[in-house]
Amino acid sequence: MSYGSLYEFWMFQFTAIALGAWSSTFVHELGHALAFWACRVRVRSIETGVGPSFTLRICGVRWVFGLNPLAGFCKPGAVRKNAKWDYKRSIFVSAAGPVLEGLVGLLIIVGGAMFCSIETNLLLWSGAMFYILGAIVNLIPMGENDGASIRDNLRELMQTKQSKEVAV
């Protein structure tokens, strides 16, 4: 193997890893946005990645695409008329990102197994692992991630139900 082909091999690997991580973050944040829209909450911006970025405005939503793919954020706007916000909806929105991310990872694996050659399938498996591991890590309640938000909202929901039961 010559130096040129080794360089090309590692550049391809780096590019595949970067695109896998970035697309995984994009799908995750899109899951949160879809959940906000389902709960009748406007979405102000969907930010995928941090660092140097470029911005688009599509359908009233600011889409920010950053260079570092390991972070993202979905900023909600105002709650629309006749829509209420509660702990259940907050849990739904928090869980929607990791759930969509995990489902897309599983679809990549199933699609790769059904329609692709073994060489392509190995590349798809490694890409799907970004999605599945990202979903699992985001559901672990630590720091300020989705798992911690779900845990905190479940705790508040249970305390609210207990206080209502005590009042009755």
| pLDDT tens by residue, 91-109 | 999 999 999 999 999 998 8
| 22 and 49 Cβ atoms separated by less than 8 Å | yes
Q: Is the pLDDT of residue 50 over 90?
A: no
Average the pLDDT over each of 79-83, 95-99, 132-136 and give the range with the smallest value.
Answer: 79-83
Task: Check residue 2 and give its pLDDT.
Answer: 52
Q: CA 31 to CA 12: how far, in whole Å? A: 28
Which CA distances in Å does 89 have to 19, 75, 85, 86, 133?
A: 31, 15, 6, 6, 24
| 48 and 101 Cβ atoms separated by less than 8 Å | no
Q: Is the pLDDT of residue 1 over 60?
A: no
